[in-house]
Chains A and B, each alone.
Chain A
Amino acid sequence: MDDAAGEEEASMFETSHVLGALLASSPLLARAWDRCTAATAAALGFVHGEEDGGNKVYVGFSGVQAALSAAGAAVAGGGADVFAPVGLGGGDAAAGRMFAPLVAAETDPAAAAGEPVAVQALALQCFLKLCGSPDFQMLLDEIRGKAVVFTGHSLGGAIAALAALHFLCISSSSSPWAPAPPVLCVTFGSPLLGNEALSRAILRERWGGNFCHVVSQHDVVPRLLFCPPDAVPAHIIVGMQLHQWPARTRQTGAVTTVTMRMADTDKDALRQLIQRHVGAVAMEQKLAAPDETTRGSPYRPFGTYVLCSPEGAACVDNATAVVQMLYATFASRSSPSAGSPEAAHSCYGELVLKMPQHLLLKRRLRVDDAPATPNYDDGVSLALEASGIDAMAMEASTARQWLKTSKRAGRRPSLNSARLATQLGRITPCRAQIEWYKALFDAEMGYYDAFKQRRSPRKYSKVNLNRIKLGQFWDRVLTMLDAGQLPHDFHRRAKWVNAARFYQLLVEPLDIADYHHHGHHRTSGSYMTHGRERRYELFDRWWQEKACTGGAGGDVTSSMLAASASSRRRSKYAGLTQDPCFWARVEEAREQTESAQGERDVAELAMKLEELQEFERYFRELVASKEVSVDVLAPQSSYTLWVEEWNQLKLRDEVRTMLLRF
């Protein structure tokens, strides 16, 4: 394993600082920062303006109002509530609607097992208040369809992130399947916003690339919420924000108190507090015990973190690695202490000017006689340097490991999905073989019954082998998906959803046949409730999600499935029966018919007849709309046989009278 990793490393290059250089050398950060300072001075809570000839809109948010509203609580020591996480989907219905796509998955039983999506109370409250204002609604209308940068400093950044999330939510619900609109959120030194569930939901929606959190090396604010809820020094966060406010306006009651108390706080004690808790979170992650709930902070980062020092910037987007890097950069004192915490929190203006200038200069190894190192390690050293970690510092080696982990984690999903695509191509002939087998029996008894009765044993064993091979392939896909080794939107990619659906429609009938051949339905219960493989249930859900978010469009080769066009009438029977459990229902109907035939009890009979009629209605409709394949109507298929049995039954006197009464 280590050898393989080493070989892989030989051909890899570290890019976090290269991406950082791209970001820092562009005018983007400076423009965003200008907007932030303008917002802090504005009364409205936000400002907006266009750049680049009206192509892009920059919207800046201010956190001053948020800080003012929380100042009282912070003084009174109620800071824990102000910065406690509140559920997005739970209590406030309005909030749930505004962030519908993020909380939608919570109705899904599989996902609901985890914690619900939650965000910082203060930021949410301020954002909701802002959202209620007509000015803000007007802004939303105005910027729709444009490339928008949401930005904010400190608490303003957290509000900006919520605004960006809301904007992404409303944009995605108006045009599902379209790529995320060009939205970027740039925060400067903002406190953490949400819990792990939020971080996961953002990854699932593929919005991670829309968030860019600029964090300077010595800034305490982005790291403070790693403290456990009861230990959050709320007055520091509030005070730091208020510090940005022009001094002459700070002279009111609670504000003065906050400022004074902040000034009293011992700098080193604060530093130690943060270091301890960020370190604890970092440690906890390393031990990786997800089911073990600790009393630590619920907050986790999402999106890309830009870890800045005057030397440059390194971009990290793996959430675990971000925590580690937030710790390592803070703990490593590469430069002599960077002045007061207030200065570290308000240094961003200077930083966005300095970084590009430094990047234009040649940097060299500090130690000139360093031994020859592979390219990859050399790159990692540069990334560490850019984020401000001294190569000699204690934290450097762990940070190095985490950058590498992040790199590998970033590469794995796309590599895996490319590999799976090749494998899918390779097993397609197995599928073709089953199709061929199906066509062979279409005119006679249908492939379902042929397989169930094991007709022509050689063909049967071949097809059975293919069935098993395909099943193993798809199980492997699901195992990788569960382990997070595939792209987060894998189950939404048309190619895979369609391939899975085609496989399911073709092969699930064989699984049903096998189940009933062995009589498992008698020993372990009906197929639908007890015999279905997990993969089929999942594929059903993928297909339904796709259907309810609108047609996928695009991928032509896989639009072989006509169900998407169910609104159109088919001119002939579908290639494959569109209900994968069709045959399980037929089996149930046949069993029911059989038992009805021997039923003496009138009430029991009535119940059974009613159910049978329900079956009949369902089947008829499918057949009439040609949603079934021809094999269903084959002369000796189970379905044809059932229709005969049912018609026989209906001819009986007591049945006929009973049916008339319904």
Chain B
Amino acid sequence: MPTDSAPPSAAASLSEDDRLLVAHCAALTFPSSSPTTAAAAAASSPSASFQVHHASHPYPCAAFAFPPSWSAADWMGGDGGRPPFGDAEVDPALFPSLRAVGSGIPARTNAAFLAAFRRLLDGSTLQSEVSRAVAEEKRVVFTGHSSGGSIATLAAIWFLEKCTRRGSVNQAHPFCVTFGAPLIGDNIFNHAVKREGWSQCILHFLLPLDIVPRIPLTPLASFREEIQAVLDWFSPQTPNNSPAGRSLVIPGYYETLLRSTLSIASYEACSFMGCTSSILGTLTSFIDLSPYRPCGTYHFLTSSEQLIVLTNSDAVLQLLFYCLQLDPQQQLLDAAARSLSAHWQYEPIKECMQDIICVDYLGTISSTVPGRQTDRVAIGSIELSREAILHLSAAAQWEKQRQRNQTKIDESCQKIQEALGSLNEYKRSRELRGVSYYDSFKLQREVHDFDANVRRLELAGLWDEIVEMLRRRELPDGFEAREEWVSLGTLFRRLVEPLDIANYYRHSKNEDTGSYLSKGRPRRYKYTQKWHEQLQRAPVGSSLESCFWAVVEELQAEMADGRAFEDLRDRVVKLENDAHGWYNSGSLGKDVFLGSSSFVAWWRTLPEQHRSASSIAKLVSL
């Protein structure tokens, strides 16, 4: 459900019910007998499995728990020529919202986890169990430890997509609770989840030192053996779970992990700290940086009394490195051992959730006077270095800056509405004279036409600025899902795009450049169209009503060039049917069908036989 992104300072502290649910999830994920039984259960059924647990307290809910996998193959898939980080585009049929709306670039995710999730969907009772829970009006919860948490995240997003598409958004939000889950999605993944307002339902619990969330930041393909060694150490099936059984490759891998995490944290910090050095762009072609970024709401479990809650994923990424930064005397080996063992220390969550205190750490850092005193705000027993504090405040400030940019853009709303109002008046006054404003504008005979052109240019300036800011990611992630802007954009597109088309064909730009639709359509219309389609969950490319005239112009030009009607019949019929539908839904104005409209004049030249059977025959004779 698209909501206005919550102000950053209100990092949600957990409600009573949520706390109970988290504890419940922890109890499910870490059964009290010992990790061995949980793993044994997982081992008895292959990696594609899950458990459902129904509960009635605090409210009726069905919790789906996904077990972790300790096989490297389940983390990075086969060697089949995958990119070094094992990522792939998400399946648009499964996750239609996971993309950048305006540019249409799909999100990327860990291909192995995605494949595991697909296997669950196709080969298990997951779908039917979820449907049953929904039918019984139970709240659906997904949970998991380690890679099970990543699968749970995908499942939660899949479920959210289904709910919103069915329109049943009012049902209680599903809930996703992960413990020490590895990162799964890229920047666009994170952007899309934020935009759709889903990040508050995806709760990640992390121990600050846990190595696992960072594993995807290393080039998976090149460290297969090392990662298997780490997973072997975690696996309860490996004899004794003891340091002696630890492979010698682990310290080396741990250093690689630290270095990779530092690279990515520094790279992202460069961008939100406003680095202008031109070498930054060159370096990205030569340094392989992991695409994965944090996504959702993070809870750093600093002690059994304190949770640090972060919704700012830039800040989370910084913490992923700076929590691991070594103390000068610390041995790499010890650090690695602590980091590994942290992955099995989530069990206390079962007991401590009731009284735990949620801290808005980023708020504390960025609100106090900058300087020394904040250094004392430690994360549990970990004291952060000076750079860490700086990077965190920069991340907080960048988020605020994006919010401020949005406020500034909101101020132009009024101006846009005024200009649209005056263009609407123009359109109406032309209609009263029996002329389509499209034709009148294309002729540019009267002073009204000129004024309309000035309005058009003013509006173009305002909207181009918005689109530019979106492309530079200077607006909050939720901007493109804000209803007021999406509907304003649709209004703007339907009213003004015909004028741009008129201008394009008036100056015969199609002769220089190509058709309007393929070459001349400005981004401001492409973007606003996609916003509308995303918000309405309509198929991509279904709302081309504002380009009606461009199609007409192209057909006219081709017929003038001597193409036979027979060749164009299909396209004409499609246009007629589309126009009919658009007219009925109110997205295409009646000016198009006015007796003197150039469209009608052209349409009348079509063969009689075709016209009489046409779907718009009645409209034209109106």
Do the two chains bind?
A: yes
> A-side interface residues toward B, CB under 8 Å?
11-16, 18-19, 21-23, 25-28, 52, 56, 147, 149, 182-184, 206, 208-212, 303-304, 315, 317, 356, 359-365, 370-375, 378-379, 382, 407, 410-411, 414, 421-422, 425-426, 428-429, 432-433, 435-436, 439, 556-557, 559-560, 562, 564-565, 568, 570-572, 575
A374 to B370, CA, bound (A): 6
Kindly report which residue of chain B lies nearest to residue A23, judged by CB atoms. Answer: B283
**Pairs across A and B, CB under 8 Å, 30 listed:** A11-B397, A13-B397, A19-B270, A22-B263, A23-B283, A25-B260, A25-B266, A52-B288, A184-B282, A184-B286, A209-B282, A210-B282, A317-B277, A317-B279, A356-B259, A360-B262, A362-B385, A364-B386, A365-B386, A371-B371, A374-B370, A375-B370, A378-B386, A411-B276, A425-B460, A425-B464, A428-B461, A557-B522, A560-B509, A571-B511
Q: Contact string, B286-311, partner A, CB cutoff 8 A, digits 1/0? A: 11100000000000000000000000
Kindly report which residue of chain A lies nearest to residue B273, judged by CB atoms. Answer: A13
A375 contacts B461, C-beta separation under 8 Å: no
- B234 contacts chain A at the CB level, 8 A cutoff: no
A206 to B281, CA, bound (A): 12
Main secondary structure of the interface of B (DSSP, over half): helix
B278 contacts A382, C-beta separation under 8 Å: no
Q: Mark the stretch among B30-38, B54-62, B426-434, B450-458 that contacts chain A.
A: B450-458
Kindly report which residue of chain B lies nearest to residue A55, judged by CB atoms. Answer: B288
A428 to B457, CA, bound (A): 7
Chain A contacts of B381 at CB under 8 A? none
B454 contacts A429, C-beta separation under 8 Å: yes
B394 contacts A422, C-beta separation under 8 Å: no
Q: Which 8 A-B pairs have the closest CB atoms?
A: A372-B371, A209-B278, A425-B461, A410-B276, A182-B285, A13-B273, A15-B275, A22-B266
A19 contacts B279, C-beta separation under 8 Å: yes
Contact for B287 among A16, A28, A206, CB less than 8 A? A28
A426 to B507, CA, bound (A): 22
- B465 contacts chain A at the CB level, 8 A cutoff: yes
A21 contacts B285, C-beta separation under 8 Å: no
Q: Contact string, B361-392, partner A, CB cutoff 8 A, digits 1/0? A: 00000000111110000000001111100110
A429 contacts B457, C-beta separation under 8 Å: yes
Q: Contact string, B487-521, partner A, CB cutoff 8 A, digits 1/0? A: 00000000000000000000111011100000111
CB distance from B518 to the nearest CB of A (A): 10
Chain A contacts of B464 at CB under 8 A? 425
CB distance from B236 to the nearest CB of A (A): 31
Q: Mark the stretch among B12-20, B322-330, B547-555, B573-581 that contacts chain A.
A: B322-330
A370 to B394, CA, bound (A): 21
Question: Residue among A28, A211, A556, A559 with the most chain B CB within 10 A?
Answer: A556
A28 contacts B286, C-beta separation under 8 Å: yes
Chain A contacts of B390 at CB under 8 A? 13, 375, 378-379, 382
A435 to B507, CA, bound (A): 12
A559 to B394, CA, bound (A): 40
Kindly report which residue of chain B lies nearest to residue A51, judged by CB atoms. Answer: B286
Chain A contacts of B444 at CB under 8 A? 436, 439
- B267 contacts chain A at the CB level, 8 A cutoff: yes
Chain A contacts of B486 at CB under 8 A? none
Chain B contacts of A564 at CB under 8 A? 512
Kindly report which residue of chain B lies nearest to residue A575, judged by CB atoms. Answer: B507
Given A361-B325, A565-B512 in contact, is the A147-B285 Cβ separation under 8 Å? Answer: yes
Q: Contact string, B88-107, partner A, CB cutoff 8 A, digits 1/0? A: 00000000000000000000
Kindly report which residue of chain B lies nearest to residue A374, judged by CB atoms. Answer: B370
A362 to B276, CA, bound (A): 26
Chain B contacts of A422 at CB under 8 A? 461, 465
- B121 contacts chain A at the CB level, 8 A cutoff: no
CB distance from B542 to the nearest CB of A (A): 23
Contact for B372 among A183, A209, A372, CB less than 8 A? A372
Question: Residue among A304, A363, A557 with the most chain B CB within 10 A?
Answer: A557
Q: Contact string, B334-368, partner A, CB cutoff 8 A, digits 1/0? A: 00000000000000000000000000000000000
Chain A contacts of B287 at CB under 8 A? 22, 26-28
A289 to B321, CA, bound (A): 46
- B258 contacts chain A at the CB level, 8 A cutoff: yes
Extra contacts, 19 of them, besides A25-B262, A362-B327, A372-B369 (Cβ < 8 A), are A14-B273, A15-B274, A18-B266, A18-B270, A22-B266, A209-B282, A304-B278, A315-B277, A356-B262, A360-B262, A361-B327, A371-B372, A374-B371, A375-B393, A378-B371, A407-B276, A422-B465, A432-B450, A557-B522
CB distance from A411 to the nearest CB of B (A): 6
- B73 contacts chain A at the CB level, 8 A cutoff: no
A421 to B259, CA, bound (A): 40
A414 to B258, CA, bound (A): 34
B263 contacts A25, C-beta separation under 8 Å: yes
Interface positions, chain B 517-557, Cβ under 8 Å from A, are 519-522
- B169 contacts chain A at the CB level, 8 A cutoff: no
Inter-chain residue pair count (beta carbon < 8 A): 195
CB distance from B455 to the nearest CB of A (A): 9
Chain A contacts of B383 at CB under 8 A? 362
CB distance from A99 to the nearest CB of B (A): 20
Contact for A21 among B84, B262, B454, B507, CB less than 8 A? B262
Given A21-B266, A360-B326, A432-B454 in contact, is the A209-B286 Cβ separation under 8 Å? Answer: no
Chain A contacts of B369 at CB under 8 A? 372
A230 to B464, CA, bound (A): 57
- B269 contacts chain A at the CB level, 8 A cutoff: yes
Chain A contacts of B397 at CB under 8 A? 11, 13
Chain B contacts of A433 at CB under 8 A? 450, 454
Chain B contacts of A364 at CB under 8 A? 385-386
CB distance from B128 to the nearest CB of A (A): 43
Chain B contacts of A562 at CB under 8 A? 511-512
B386 contacts A19, C-beta separation under 8 Å: no
Contact for A411 among B274, B282, B385, B468, CB less than 8 A? B274
Contact for B387 among A182, A371, A382, CB less than 8 A? A382
Chain B contacts of A317 at CB under 8 A? 277-279
- B401 contacts chain A at the CB level, 8 A cutoff: yes
Q: Contact string, B446-474, partner A, CB cutoff 8 A, digits 1/0? A: 00001001100110111011001000000
Kindly report which residue of chain B lies nearest to residue A426, judged by CB atoms. Answer: B461
A21 to B321, CA, bound (A): 12
- B568 contacts chain A at the CB level, 8 A cutoff: no
Kindly report which residue of chain B lies nearest to residue A183, judged by CB atoms. Answer: B282
Kindly report which residue of chain B lies nearest to residue A15, judged by CB atoms. Answer: B275
A95 to B276, CA, bound (A): 33
Chain A contacts of B267 at CB under 8 A? 22
A209 contacts B326, C-beta separation under 8 Å: no
A361 to B453, CA, bound (A): 61
- B333 contacts chain A at the CB level, 8 A cutoff: no
Chain A contacts of B393 at CB under 8 A? 375
B273 contacts A18, C-beta separation under 8 Å: yes
CB distance from B457 to the nearest CB of A (A): 5
CB distance from A337 to the nearest CB of B (A): 24
CB distance from B42 to the nearest CB of A (A): 34
A378 contacts B370, C-beta separation under 8 Å: yes
A13 to B276, CA, bound (A): 11
A19 contacts B275, C-beta separation under 8 Å: yes
- B606 contacts chain A at the CB level, 8 A cutoff: no
- B115 contacts chain A at the CB level, 8 A cutoff: no
Chain B contacts of A425 at CB under 8 A? 457, 460-462, 464-465
A359 to B255, CA, bound (A): 12
A365 to B385, CA, bound (A): 9
- B249 contacts chain A at the CB level, 8 A cutoff: no
Kindly report which residue of chain A lies nearest to residue B287, judged by CB atoms. Answer: A26
B465 contacts A414, C-beta separation under 8 Å: no
A370 to B520, CA, bound (A): 59
Given A13-B274, A212-B279, A373-B371 in contact, is the A362-B262 Cβ separation under 8 Å? Answer: no
Given A13-B274, A429-B457 in contact, is the A149-B326 Cβ separation under 8 Å? Answer: no
Kindly report which residue of chain A lies nearest to residue B458, judged by CB atoms. Answer: A429
Chain B contacts of A12 at CB under 8 A? 274
CB distance from A605 to the nearest CB of B (A): 43
B522 contacts A556, C-beta separation under 8 Å: yes
